[in-house]
Homo-oligomer: A and B are copies of this chain.
């Protein structure tokens, strides 16, 4: 019996277990059926769970990539791989009015030849700004390969702040590097040309007149005058300089940090000879500069004399050279990877341990500088570091594989076979002194729609997310990147970037200064001088002021508009029908739109960005009168309403007041909760409350207006202002409820 009971116990336990299994199976049933329906295996489900972003979740990293031929910057998130933004850099971008409003057009024009608006750019490898070799999340830099321009983007508002055209190069390598405290942003030429638009004969004057060069753009960081902490650093052309070089084709380059600070390493080739170059950009600054086309140049003869630039021959062409996070080594690879000892290279350059030259540039002795070599496979494209000590990832193009190997022991660690030929690599924080792990992205440039739709003769770029959190690599997501030829990305921890949500009222966002065209509510006006018309207007839910503008055919018209909103994501847009202008007005921004009113007629203008339920009310009209026009009728006045219409507006008004009172009850209950729970102790909650109160402050005028119009029996105006007041209330209530939710979460923690 004892056995029996024991057995019974076991049986009961087993029954219990069966129940557990069954209930588990039932819970899993839907997942199982989805797996079956969609053809997913366990690995797929795991991959899906690793990239899916739940409600309230946040991507761990911001990533930035150049779009190639679109001339725009792309912002995406890791690990969701969702694209958040395209930002105009080297080409006009209509959505945010870049190259459509006067202020941003000026940014592009300053970076173009002869005051033209250069509309095409080719950008590939960005660099993030650094403090002590760590990403500081403040700025992003880009080089335009097609037109030899360089650009600066602010990461607190994700806008392009500066574009400069190179005064000497015709064509640039489409990548940049920064020194460890952003002292310099480096840019090099790609294909050699005579400088400064001088001409030359390819056959007879190639060696004498064609040149290459590397430019150190001086960068100065600063915050805005308003003291908001908004970063307005700029590259200073007058303090920048270029080293003149013989006609090498220059490629990818990287800057040493820490002990390697002061040296730039890059790829160079001449005919069928391939090199890594090393460039001592600190030492070169002691040399005398000459001015060429108003730009400081170190003549090659002087640079050669000083031994600041030298070549390390390598056997085959390479596509990447990267300095490791400790700057102990730098690595380049074609089929073989070469690990160079940074100390030895510095010493050899200092000692001028040269052996021969190419086009007058001294050669260092490769074998003396090499720490070691590793065979990786057929055609390595790129290298990337993560936080694993001395580990580097390599993409091997023709072998369709990734190889992780140890550059200290020179041993292969892990090989991962891919379904595609891998291109450029990226690890989060990978080009800084503190690379992270977990994720590796790999560009797939020949994606023959493995799991993608066929979109005709030309396809997007693809970017694969590789999970490198464990020893075994896994390809967990294929991202499509539209309107882009994707090359390199950079990625930084989400929390390093501190995006602002509004500007000080009246900000010219391209300069960071308060615009002289700033207009506040009640001070809207139209100024004329001859055929020049300036409209100083405002945008706020749900009015464009002024609502009617009258000009004469041939007038040059500028709308200077200020968005008066303080609420989060409360952007207004503005366009005038058929005149091709467009502005995006984020809260606090002032921008100007200029055009010649060369066609008479009536042209509606309107808010182009959905801003509230009354968005469609945000419209007005531009009357362009034929030259010499005399109005046949009265002055522009109000259209009289019928009694029936008036009664309808009165009813609408009264209905709205009921809703307003209900909404106020919600606001009151939220306010009570917030006060009772000391919301001031929680900074982010407090910020939300300030935002909410801001809304109510703005609402005061609307309330005064609707009460006044109601008293006067002007029911249409009373209704419209009541509607406007309610819009503010709703925004207040929304923000308040978010604050309440956040506060309750904070309290329960």
How distant is A66 from chain B, measured CB to nearest CB, in Å?
Answer: 12
Given A14-B10, A55-B450, A191-B606, answer yes or no on A206-B457 (Cβ-Cβ < 8 Å): no
Partner of A10, one of B11, B35, B42: B11
Most central of A40, A51, A196 by chain B CB within 10 Å? A40
- A478 and B58 CA atoms in complex are apart in Å by 12
A479 nearest in chain B by CB position = B82
- A39 and B191 CA atoms in complex are apart in Å by 50
Check A55 against B3 for contact (C-beta < 8 Å). no
A49 nearest in chain B by CB position = B34
A147 nearest in chain B by CB position = B578
Check B40 against A589 for contact (C-beta < 8 Å). no
Given A31-B46, A39-B54, answer yes or no on A601-B456 (Cβ-Cβ < 8 Å): no
Check A271 against B645 for contact (C-beta < 8 Å). yes
Most central of A49, A156, A451 by chain B CB within 10 Å? A49
In A89-144, the 8 Å CB interface with B consists of 91-96, 100, 113, 116, 118-122
Q: Which residues of B contact A38 (CB under 8 A)?
A: 49-50, 52, 54, 57
Residues of A contacting B: mostly: loop
Given A31-B49, A38-B50, answer yes or no on A100-B85 (Cβ-Cβ < 8 Å): no
- A602 and B205 CA atoms in complex are apart in Å by 12
Asked if A260 CB lies within 8 Å of chain B CBs, one says no
Asked if A571 CB lies within 8 Å of chain B CBs, one says yes
Given A8-B7, A46-B34, A453-B59, answer yes or no on A573-B199 (Cβ-Cβ < 8 Å): no
Q: Which residues of B contact A634 (CB under 8 A)?
A: 203-204
Check A568 against B448 for contact (C-beta < 8 Å). yes
Q: Which residues of B contact A71 (CB under 8 A)?
A: 94
Bitwise, A586-625 to B at CB < 8 A (1) or not (0) is 1111000000000111111010111001000001010111
A575 nearest in chain B by CB position = B146
How distant is A568 from chain B, measured CB to nearest CB, in Å?
Answer: 6
Q: Which residues of B contact A379 (CB under 8 A)?
A: 613
Asked if A221 CB lies within 8 Å of chain B CBs, one says no
A423 nearest in chain B by CB position = B610
How distant is A174 from chain B, measured CB to nearest CB, in Å?
Answer: 10
Q: Which residues of B contact A326 (CB under 8 A)?
A: none
A202 nearest in chain B by CB position = B636
Asked if A170 CB lies within 8 Å of chain B CBs, one says yes
Partner of A272, one of B48, B621, B645: B645
How distant is A232 from chain B, measured CB to nearest CB, in Å?
Answer: 15
Q: Which residues of B contact A649 (CB under 8 A)?
A: 272
Identify 20 new A-B residue pairs, CB closer than 8 A, beyond the known A4-B4, A202-B623: A39-B54, A53-B478, A57-B451, A69-B95, A71-B94, A83-B460, A84-B453, A86-B482, A100-B119, A196-B601, A197-B599, A198-B601, A199-B600, A199-B623, A199-B624, A201-B631, A203-B637, A206-B639, A447-B569, A456-B586
Partner of A113, one of B271, B548, B599: B599
Partner of A17, one of B14, B50, B588: B14
17 contacts between A and B (CB under 8 A): A10-B11, A17-B21, A31-B45, A31-B49, A34-B49, A38-B50, A45-B48, A69-B95, A74-B482, A82-B452, A84-B480, A193-B604, A198-B601, A201-B636, A203-B633, A379-B613, A457-B503
Check A608 against B69 for contact (C-beta < 8 Å). yes
- A74 and B191 CA atoms in complex are apart in Å by 35
Partner of A199, one of B456, B548, B602, B613: B602
Asked if A534 CB lies within 8 Å of chain B CBs, one says no
Check A610 against B455 for contact (C-beta < 8 Å). no
Given A582-B120, A601-B198, answer yes or no on A457-B204 (Cβ-Cβ < 8 Å): no
Most central of A54, A67, A122 by chain B CB within 10 Å? A54
In A489-514, the 8 Å CB interface with B consists of 494, 499-503
Asked if A518 CB lies within 8 Å of chain B CBs, one says no
Partner of A84, one of B21, B122, B452, B578: B452
- A170 and B579 CA atoms in complex are apart in Å by 10
Partner of A610, one of B21, B62, B485, B730: B485
Check B100 against A199 for contact (C-beta < 8 Å). no
Asked if A47 CB lies within 8 Å of chain B CBs, one says yes
Q: Which residues of B contact A118 (CB under 8 A)?
A: 578, 580
Asked if A545 CB lies within 8 Å of chain B CBs, one says no
Check B49 against A45 for contact (C-beta < 8 Å). yes
Asked if A200 CB lies within 8 Å of chain B CBs, one says yes
Most central of A92, A95, A571, A648 by chain B CB within 10 Å? A95
Q: Which residues of B contact A589 (CB under 8 A)?
A: 457
Bitwise, A55-75 to B at CB < 8 A (1) or not (0) is 111110010000111111011
Asked if A711 CB lies within 8 Å of chain B CBs, one says no
How distant is A455 from chain B, measured CB to nearest CB, in Å?
Answer: 5
Check B95 against A119 for contact (C-beta < 8 Å). no
Given A582-B69, A610-B445, answer yes or no on A483-B85 (Cβ-Cβ < 8 Å): yes
Asked if A363 CB lies within 8 Å of chain B CBs, one says no
Q: Which residues of B contact A50 (CB under 8 A)?
A: 34, 38
- A49 and B68 CA atoms in complex are apart in Å by 33
Q: Which residues of B contact A451 (CB under 8 A)?
A: 53-58
